[in-house]
Every structure is written in C-alpha cells, then in structure tokens.
Chain A
C-alpha cells in the first residue's frame, strides 16, 4: 500500500469521524499497514463542518496532516467547496450524490458519486450513511481489502447495530463495484451549471 492521503468531510452528525476510524482500523489492525487519523474540532457537536484526515501507508506515517489529499470524500456542499480545491491532480473525489452539487471540477480528477443517504434510508436507518460511504469507498478506491474493512465495521459499532452496519457496508460496496465498472464521472458525465460568484 503506497502512502495515501485521504480527507473525509461533511457536517457534524453524519458520522464522518467514525468512517475514518473504520478505514484506519482496517488498514492498521486488519491489514497490517499503518494509519494515522486526525480530525478538526469545531465547537459545534452537530451541524457544523466536520473533517477527518487519514493517512495510510506501508511504513509508519510521520507527518500527521494531509496537505494534498489523494482521495477526498465529501458529504456536504460546504465540505466540497472548502476541500475540493486541495485535491491532488489525478486524485479521486467521492461525493454524496444528493448533498453535493458538483461545479468547477478539475478535469484531472476522477469523480465517483453515490446516493449514500438514500441507500441508508432504504435500510431503514439514515444514520448508517457513513458506513454505506465506507463500502462505496472500499469498492472504488481498491485501497483496502474488503474483508479487512468488514471486520473494522463490525468492530467499531455497538453490537446491536452490527448487522445493520454490515448490510450498509455491502450496499455501498455493491453500488461501488457497479460504479467502478461504469468508470468515473470525470466532470462532464453529469454536466452542471456553474453558479456565478454573485
């Protein structure tokens, strides 16, 4: 696993931090690599901007912060506006389809989109959207072994929600496998009107 810098961002209450913990745990505990996760803290517990930075690597990570992410996962428009410009050329952008309106996409960026909230609602619990996102991430990035992530999901949620979260993972993962075979959106696939700065 080469050193990969990942940023996950959204608003408070979406489970952004937990999704980063699951991915980091998969890499460092179940796959024998190294992972370092840091998070930005806002004063708001809910609704404010929330972001986690995750670095996974074959060797121990030194510098703990992400400067130019290889992979950006965004689950809110605010997070998209704030972090999309940082994304590395050739990097991957993963978005929550219904919450993020794509605009001014760098043509070098590979875009994958998933209606994670809707898929979670199909399972009866909107709160598992983060684990749907984790499943989707696992499929389209091919960075982590799916079984390692499954174990990390099972290990990171309360026992009574384990089955639900594992279902959420599979739902996102299957959606991701299809998206991967369809190829990235690459900006032009879903043309959007650019909003004026006014």
Chain B
C-alpha cells in the first residue's frame, strides 16, 4: 500500500541521519515510539516527539531501555507500527526484548546508532562494534534482519525498508547506523507519499473461531491479530504451539524455532540488498558497510588510480549475511579486504563464506573515528601481493 501522506515530509531537506531516520519511520507509518535518551541516537526520538503529535501518534520517554524495548511491543499488539532507538549501552539492555520480539513474532524496528564501546566507551564517537550483538545478542536461536545505511538519504530510505521487512516477516529488524552517519548532514530527498511503498501488517481475515495465532499457510509467517478485536488470543515468550499456548516439548520447540529461523533463511535472496561495482575481473574485492563503505570507496579509487583491479561489495543487508554471494565472489577474486570500525566482526563471516577460496584481510579500527583511506589502500596493496 502507499504511505499515509500525513507522515510524509515531501521535499528536499538538509538534515542529519538521525533526523532522516525519524522521517523514514514516520513515512513508513510508525505512530508510536518509546525511548530512553542516549547519545548519539537521541535526536531521532527528539524529532519524533515533536512530529508525531501532528500526525496522530504517541511518543513516551520510558524509565529505561528495558521498558522502552517492551513498551513498543505492547503498542504493536495494540495495533500500531512502533520502534525504539538507542546506542550501545541501551542496546545491551534491550537484548532480552529482541529475543521476545523474535519469539512472539512482533514486527518492530530497533535503531542502534553505534558508538565506541565496550561499556560507556565513546558516547559521541563512532564504531561498528555492535554488529555481532545485533545478530546474536539475545539468548537462544533466532534470526533477525539488520540493515546498514551509509548516508542520511539511506537513513530515510532504509528505515522504510526496515519497517517493511518487519511487517513482511514479523521479525524485529535492527537498523544499524553509526555516529558519523547519524550526525552527518546531507541532502535528503523525501518523495511524495504516493511514491512510497509501505508493507501492510499481515493481519488475519479469519474469524475468531478459525484463527490460529501461530498457524502458518505455507510461507512460514503467521497472520496477526490485535488486542480488542475479539480474537481472544494468547501470546507468550514460552515455547508455544500454533494456538499460542505454552507447550514445552522438544517437538514443539523444534518446530517453532526452526520456523523462526527458516522464515528468514528461506527468503534470504529477497532480503539481501547490496551494492556491487567493478566486481567483474577484480583481483581484490573490498567488502564494507555503513560509514566505512564511503571511506573504502576512497581507498578503492586510490588503488584503481594505480592500475589495480579492485571491486566494491557494499553490504546494505548485513543480517542475514550475504554468504551465497560472497561464496560466488571467492571463486573469482584473489582476496577480500574488509575494513570495519571494530576489531574483527563481519570479517569473520566473510572468511567463513570464502571458505579458504580467497584470502581475507581485516582492516580493523577500534572506533572513535573512521579509517584513513590510506589504511584501506595499504590493505588492498597487501592483498595483491
């Protein structure tokens, strides 16, 4: 369906990534956010608090991130599209509820504007060191989707995408920004509402008698109902059967947890968004994401100026990891160079997918700034040796 024009601030703006993310959420139909202030993410909910009363929604500042991350889920079951935003320390507190959203199949978006860690770390400076946490941070087996924007424009465009994936797959989507992208100001073009495609909630049309809250019809994603509609359904974080009733047997566990996994894995090709350039005939492929992809481009340009054949693979979808494509590329290229603002996270995935077919060179950085393009150039030079 098309976006509700009330939430769409059509026009050309010069705004930062945090503000653009908020506009993306509003355009996607988010009318509820529960938040807790934390640098460098707070501007997103500050803007939301100012904007949402004008479009028919609610912002509530909660007492902590534990509360924020579950209040938004209550709102989803009350019929709203909802999200929360945070940064490292708050993201750590939200982990239990990311698992809860995965288990109860609550469509929602968690925005993490990454800063340097561990612990309080570098509140005002960037990192990309929550990437593994985004995937594995909650206990148990589950799958999420994670997207990484590299500009304010993408903070707008991909926030809409994040909400759309959340609704399509009934899954929590991690929107993994970083401090630089969040605080960087650039031109952001917001199209008219009738040119923004919004995925509706997968709401059941069945009667209360026929409805099975966790029954599926082939595509592994159950239909949803909201409180107050007469379905009188039950929902729990316990292992549950198709009725939503607790059923703590290995058989029910296996069936449920595999479905939660497979509804994402089976659709991986559809979820995968990446930017490829100069891949054909490349000896070295630079794999990057988020703000680092922009620095990487400069390193690639410097290497190409020296006559080297370097390709670019930018992950926009980081989870599920694009392992099929990396495996294919490993057959063609000699090496992958993987710069990221951490001491080695996504590079492990690249290495695993490459399976020894191509070398993998990490360009690590502890965070607090971005790489110098020369560091990436040097890694490319090393890779060609």
A→B interface (CB under 8 Å): 20-21, 24-25, 28-29, 34-41, 62-65
Contacts and interface: CB of A to CB of B under 8 A. Distances in A.
B183 A39 contact: yes
Contacts of A29: 12-14, 187
Contact of B187 (A28, A40, A62): A28
B370 A36 contact: no
A21 B188 CA distance: 13
A62 B184 contact: no
Contacts of B124: 40-41
Interface string B155-193: 000000000000000000000000010011111000000
Contacts of B369: 65
A39 B124 CA distance: 10
A28 B14 contact: yes
**Interface SS of A by simple majority:** mixed
Contacts, number: 55
Interface of B: 12-14, 16, 39-40, 124, 180, 183-187, 291, 294-295, 297-298, 301, 369-370, 373
Contacts of A24: 14, 185-186
A195 to B, nearest CB: 32
B65 to A, nearest CB: 21
Contacts of A28: 14, 186-187
A20 B291 CA distance: 21
Contacts of A36: 184-186
Nearest to A33: B187
Nearest to A22: B14
Contacts of B291: 64
A35 B184 contact: no
A64 B370 contact: yes
B256 to A, nearest CB: 44
Residue among B185, B291, B301, B373 having the largest count of chain A Cβ atoms under 10 Å: B185
A74 to B, nearest CB: 20
Given A29-B14, A63-B373, A35 B187 contact: yes
A198 B16 CA distance: 42
A38 B184 contact: yes
Contact of A21 (B39, B185, B294, B298): B185
Contact of A65 (B39, B185, B297, B370): B370
B370 A34 contact: no
Contacts of B39: 41
Nearest to A39: B183
Contacts of B187: 28-29, 34-35
Contacts of A34: 186-187
B185 A64 contact: no
Contacts of B301: 62
A41 B184 CA distance: 12
B186 A37 contact: yes
A36 B180 CA distance: 11
Nearest to A17: B185
A48 to B, nearest CB: 12
Residue among A24, A25, A39, A62 having the largest count of chain B Cβ atoms under 10 Å: A62
Contact of B297 (A35, A37, A62): A62
Contact of A63 (B183, B186, B294): B294
Contacts of B14: 21, 24-25, 28-29, 35, 37
16 contacts: A24-B14, A24-B185, A28-B14, A28-B186, A29-B13, A34-B187, A35-B14, A35-B186, A37-B186, A39-B183, A40-B124, A62-B295, A63-B373, A64-B184, A64-B291, A64-B370
Nearest to A54: B185
B41 to A, nearest CB: 13
Contacts of A39: 183, 185
B294 A64 contact: yes
Nearest to A156: B14
A25 B12 CA distance: 10
B183 A62 contact: no
Given A62-B295, A63-B370, 6 more contacts: A25-B14, A29-B187, A37-B14, A37-B186, A62-B301, A64-B291
B180 A64 contact: yes
B186 A62 contact: no
Which 3 pairs between the two chains have the least Cβ-Cβ distance? A37-B185, A25-B14, A28-B187
A38 B294 contact: no
Nearest to B369: A65
A34 B185 CA distance: 11
Contacts of A20: 185
A38 B365 CA distance: 20
B183 A41 contact: yes
A144 to B, nearest CB: 13
Residue among B40, B183, B297, B373 having the largest count of chain A Cβ atoms under 10 Å: B183
